[in-house]
Amino acid sequence: MQGMKIDFITNSIIVTRSFIEAAADINSEEYTSLQLAKMDNPTMRVVLRSTRAGGRESGYKGLTYKYMRKFISVMDSANLVSFEKTILHYENYGYENGTVYKYVREWFLTYYPNHREMIAAAAPKAAAETVNLTEPEAA
């Protein structure tokens, strides 16, 4: 049955939150399945399955105010005043920090959608070394 798993290694019956909520009804199929599993395995304990954090990586990781300021000051210093005014604009409306950050991030990504590629393109390139492929002359 989906929502319930018997783990012999940890000696537990692992159930999902939706399964345990459905099993609260005595007339449900989930209740019957859980009771059968407990009767077959009396030493096992029933455990709620934990959710896995970090399954998805955020595309905004590292996109902090400090990063945005530094990027703008290096790549487009004329726009730094506009960036600071944008922050003040949303702070003056009394938004909470998370909401201010969301709007500032949207502003930044509107003006610099390819900011990572811009940094890579502006990085200094190593000079290509010339390699002498001829054999050394015999003395």
Q: Which residue has the tokens 């159930």?
A: 15
Per-residue pLDDT of the chain (139 residues; tens, 9 = 90+): 688 999 999 899 999 999 999 999 999 999 999 999 999 999 999 998 877 655 666 778 888 999 999 999 988 888 899 999 998 988 888 778 888 899 999 999 999 888 888 888 877 776 555 555 666 666 5
pTM for this model (two decimals): 0.50
Q: Which pLDDT score, from 0 to 100, does residue 92 have?
A: 87
Q: Which pLDDT score, from 0 to 100, does residue 53 have?
A: 57
Strands (DSSP E) found in 25-84: 45-48
From the list 45, 48, 1, 42, the residue with the least C-alpha distance to 20 is 48
